[in-house]
């Protein structure tokens, strides 16, 4: 019993480190498990931890208590960094909704989002759910779980140099979110801008016409009609972002495994 105690302790520490990395991914990636009850997510973390246990290239946990605590923080950062690759891809659709909503006259209509624990526009939530649906259809959850299991071979638990080393890549991904979101929204923005200009000419030509009464209805009708037509393009833009997730995860793991 005495001889087994250190072995069991080492295995427990390794399992805890693996579950911490998995927790970071579950928290960071807004996929099918986001709205699941907390107990379901805990069970998912424990089951994935059991599946990943033994895949790591090293079976030696950090020697001291301080090193183990720092390893927990680092592993959480590794999981969050990997989960953010999915979060940023979905955020491109959200940026598109935030940019378009004010021009449609829907900027004031906000709904509480239980996923993000904040209020967001109605159009933004619709596009977010569309992006999550596309992620599930494209199998991004399987890609992410496969990358997670492979990460334990590439970067064993407790061997990450520092989670801050992936900050430049994360910053670059966050900047790309706005670029993709605005690029996808440009066709709709252009048409809405021309609609506003046309309404301005109508108001100038016929001052007696109550343009403010009909302007909102015209803008909303035109905007929603064009939105329906450009939804395939928005979906293609989001899927194009999903195609980079695997490469971005690999880049993050390489940076985290590099010596500072």
User: Over the stretch 57-74, which tens digit does the pLDDT of each residue have?
Assistant: 555 656 666 777 777 888
35 touches 91 (CB < 8 A): no
pLDDT at 259 over 50: no
Q: Does the pLDDT of residue 136 top 80, yes or no?
A: yes
Looking at residue 16, its pLDDT comes to 85
Nearest to 153 by CA among 78, 22, 56: 56
**What pLDDT score was predicted for residue 212?**
65
**Model confidence, pTM:** 0.76
pLDDT at position 1 over 60: no
Q: Where are the domains of the chain?
A: 4-257
pLDDT tens for 233-247 read 888 888 888 888 888
- Does the pLDDT of residue 95 top 70, yes or no? yes
Tens of pLDDT, residue by residue over 179-232, are 888 888 888 888 888 887 887 777 777 666 666 667 677 777 887 788 888 888
Q: Would you say residue 106 has pLDDT above 70?
A: no
Instruction: Name the token pair of 257.
Output: 């495994």
The pLDDT mean for the chain works out to 77
Q: Ranked by mean pLDDT, which of 51-55, 88-92, 119-123, 150-154 comes out on top?
A: 88-92
Instruction: Give the integer Cα–Cα distance in Å for 204 and 209.
Output: 9
Cα→Cα distances 177→94, 111, 167, 205, Å: 9, 22, 15, 41
pLDDT at 114: 54
Predicted pLDDT at 187: 82
Whether 86 shows a pLDDT value over 60: the answer reads yes
What's the mean pLDDT in 166-188? Answer: 80
Task: Please determine, for residue 4, whether its predicted confidence score (pLDDT) is greater than 80.
Answer: no
pLDDT at 260: 43
pLDDT value of position 115: 53
CB atoms within 10 A of CB 217: 10
Q: Is the pLDDT of residue 116 over 60?
A: no
Residue 231's contacts (CB-CB under 8 Å, 6 or more residues apart) are: 130
The pLDDT value given to residue 120: 64
């Amino acid at each position: 019993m005495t001889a087994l105690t250190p072995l069991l302790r080492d295995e427990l520490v390794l399992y805890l480190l693996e579950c911490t990395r998995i927790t970071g991914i579950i928290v960071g990636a807004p996929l099918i498990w986001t709205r699941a009850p907390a107990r379901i997510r805990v069970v998912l973390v424990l089951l994935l931890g059991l599946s990943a246990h033994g895949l790591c290239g090293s079976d030696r946990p950090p020697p001291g208590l301080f090193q183990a605590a720092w390893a927990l923080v680092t592993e959480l950062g590794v999981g969050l960094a990997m989960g953010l690759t999915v979060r940023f891809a979905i955020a491109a659709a959200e940026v598109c909704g935030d940019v378009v909503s004010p021009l449609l006259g829907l900027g004031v209509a906000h709904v509480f989002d239980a996923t993000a624990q904040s209020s967001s526009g109605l159009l933004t939530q619709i596009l977010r759910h569309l992006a999550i649906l596309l992620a599930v259809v494209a199998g991004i959850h399987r890609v992410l779980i496969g990358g997670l299991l492979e990460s334990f071979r590439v970067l064993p638990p407790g061997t990450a140099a520092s989670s801050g080393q992936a900050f430049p890549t994360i910053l670059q991904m966050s900047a790309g979110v706005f670029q993709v979101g605005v690029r996808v929204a440009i066709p709709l923005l252009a048409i809405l801008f021309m609609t506003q200009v046309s309404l301005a000419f109508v108001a100038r030509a016929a001052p007696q016409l109550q343009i403010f009464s009909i302007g909102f209805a015209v803008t909303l009708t035109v905007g929603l009609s064009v939105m329906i037509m450009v939804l395939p393009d928005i979906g293609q833009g989001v899927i194009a972002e999903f195609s980079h997730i695997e490469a971005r995860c690999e880049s993050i793991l390489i940076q985290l495994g590099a010596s500072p």
